[in-house]
Amino acid sequence: MSAELTLGAEEELHLIDLESGKLSARAPQLLSRLPQSSYSAEIQRTTVETNTAVTSTLSGLRAELVRLRKGLIDEAAAFGLGVAAVGTAPHSDFADFELTATGRYRRMQEQYRLLVDEQLICGTQIHVGVSDRDLAVQIAQRVSRDLPILLALSASSPFLNGHDTGYASIRTTIWQRWPSAGATGDLESGAEYDELLADLIASGVIADAKMAYFDVRPSAHEPTLELRVCDACPIIDDAILIAGLFRASVRAAEIDIEAGVPATLLRAPLHRAAMWQAARGGLSGQLLDGTSHPRPVPAAWAVRDLVSRLRPQLEELGDYDEVRELSEFTLARGNSADRQRAAFAERGELRDVVELVVQETHGPAHGTAPSVSAMRSYRNRAGDEAVGPSSMPRPAYHDIIDFYRSLPPSELLERENSRTGFTDGEGLTFGVNGEMQSFDVDLFPRLISAYQWAELGAGLAQRARAIEAFLQDVYGEQRIIADGLMPANIFDSPGWREEATLIPPGVVRAPIMGFDLVRNEFGGWRVLEDNLRAPSGAAYAMAARRLMDATVPDLPRPGGLLDPHSALVHLRETLLAGGAATLHEPGSSTTAALLSSGPTSSAWFEHSRLAEGAGLLLVSADDLEVVWPAEDSGSTASVPSVIEKSTGTVIHALYLRLDPELIDLTDSQGQPIGAEIMRVAAERGVFLANAPGNGIADDKAMYCNIPDLIAYYLNERPLLESVPTYRTSDESERRIVLERVGELVTKPVDGEGGRGVLIGPAAPASQVAERRSEIAANPTIWVAQELVALSSLPTFDGVALEPRHVDLRAFVYVRGTGPRDATVADLALTRVAPLGSMVVNSSQGGGAKDTWILGPDASLEENALLRTGPIMVTRLTSPPPALGDAADPQDLQAAQEPTADGATPAEKEN
Residues 484 and 600 in one domain: yes
Q: Quote the CA–CA distance of 77 and 18 in Å, as a whole number.
A: 9
pLDDT at residue 285, rounded to an integer: 82
Final residue before a domain boundary, out of 317, 340, 361: 361
Contacts of 480 (CB under 8 A, 6+ apart): 470, 473, 474, 486, 709, 712
* 684, 804: one domain: yes
Strands (E), 460-556: 512-519, 525-531
Sign of the four-CA dihedral 147, 152, 157, 158: positive
Final residue belonging to a domain, choices 838, 853, 868: 853
Q: Are residues 310 and 426 in the same domain?
A: no
pLDDT value at residue 727: 87
Among the listed residues 498, 481, 482, the one whose alpha carbon sits nearest the alpha carbon of residue 490: 481
pLDDT at 466: 97
Residue 588 lies in a domain: yes
Domain count, the chain: 2
Q: Are residues 312 and 193 in the same domain?
A: yes
What confidence score (pLDDT) does residue 521 get? Answer: 72
Q: What's the pLDDT at 84? A: 97
Note whether residue 259 is domain-resident: yes
Contacts of 486 (CB under 8 A, 6+ apart): 474, 480, 705, 708
Question: What is the block-wise mean pLDDT of the chain (910 residues), using blocks of 10 residues?
Answer: 90 95 94 95 94 97 97 96 96 86 85 87 96 94 95 97 93 92 89 92 88 90 93 97 98 95 88 95 88 88 96 98 95 90 86 95 88 74 78 86 90 91 91 82 94 94 97 96 88 89 94 93 85 93 97 94 96 93 64 95 94 97 92 63 94 95 94 96 94 89 88 95 88 92 88 76 90 92 85 85 92 95 96 71 71 78 45 55 36 31 34
pLDDT of residue 755: 73
The domain boundary residue, chosen from 816, 832, 853: 853
pLDDT of the residue at 207? 85
Identify whether the C-beta of residue 137 lies closer than 8 Å to the C-beta of residue 190: yes
For residues 187 and 284, membership in a common domain is answered with yes
Residue 888 lies in a domain: no
Q: What is the pLDDT of residue 389?
A: 67
Give the CATH number of the domain where residue 168 resides: 3.30.590.20
Residue 729 belongs to a domain: no
pLDDT of residue 881: 40
Whether 758 is covered by a domain: the verdict is no
841 in a domain, yes or no? yes
Domain identity same for 595 and 685: yes
CA separation for the pair 74, 540 (Å, rounded): 57
Q: Give CA–CA dist 804/412, Å, rounded.
A: 19
Same domain, 487 and 584: yes
Within 10 A of 433 (CB to CB), how many other CB atoms are there?
Answer: 10
- What backbone phi and psi angles, to 5 degrees, belong to 727? -95, 115
Identify whether 71 is part of a domain: yes
Question: Looking at the domain assignment, is residue 342 inside a domain?
Answer: yes
Q: Give which of 612, 618, 605, 905 is closest to 756, Cα–Cα.
A: 905
Instruction: Please check whether residues 292 and 427 belong to one and the same domain.
Output: no
Model pTM?
0.84
Q: Specify whether 447 is located in the same domain as 541.
A: yes
Q: Are strands 641-644 and 725-727 parallel, antiparallel or unpaired?
A: unpaired
3-state secondary structure at position 642: strand
Amino acid (one-letter) located at 817 = T
Give me the amino acid identity at 208.
Answer: D
In this prediction, residue 434 carries a pLDDT of 73
Instruction: For 779-821, list the strands marked E by DSSP.
Output: 782-785, 792-796, 801-814
The sign of the torsion formed by the CA atoms of 676, 681, 687, 691 equals positive
Co-location of 336 and 479 in the same domain: no
| pLDDT given at position 753 | 59
**Helix/strand/coil percent split, the chain, to 5:** 40, 20, 40
Question: Alpha-carbon torsion 165, 166, 169, 173, what sign?
Answer: negative
Strand positions, DSSP E, 745-787: 745-748, 758-759, 782-785
Q: Are residues 54 and 184 in the same domain?
A: yes
902, 95 Cβ separation under 8 angstroms: no
Find, among 759, 630, 749, 758, the residue nearest to 696 by Cα.
Answer: 749
Query: Are residues 347 and 449 both part of a single domain?
Result: no
- DSSP-based three-state secondary structure for 118: coil
The bridge status of strand 512-519 relative to strand 801-814 is antiparallel
- By residue count, the chain amounts to 910
Cβ pair 394, 810 in contact under 8 A: no
Asked if omega into 531 is within 30° of 0 (cis), the reply is no
Residue-number span of the structural domain to which 139 is assigned: 7-361
Asked whether the beta carbons of 527 and 461 are under 8 A apart, the reply is no
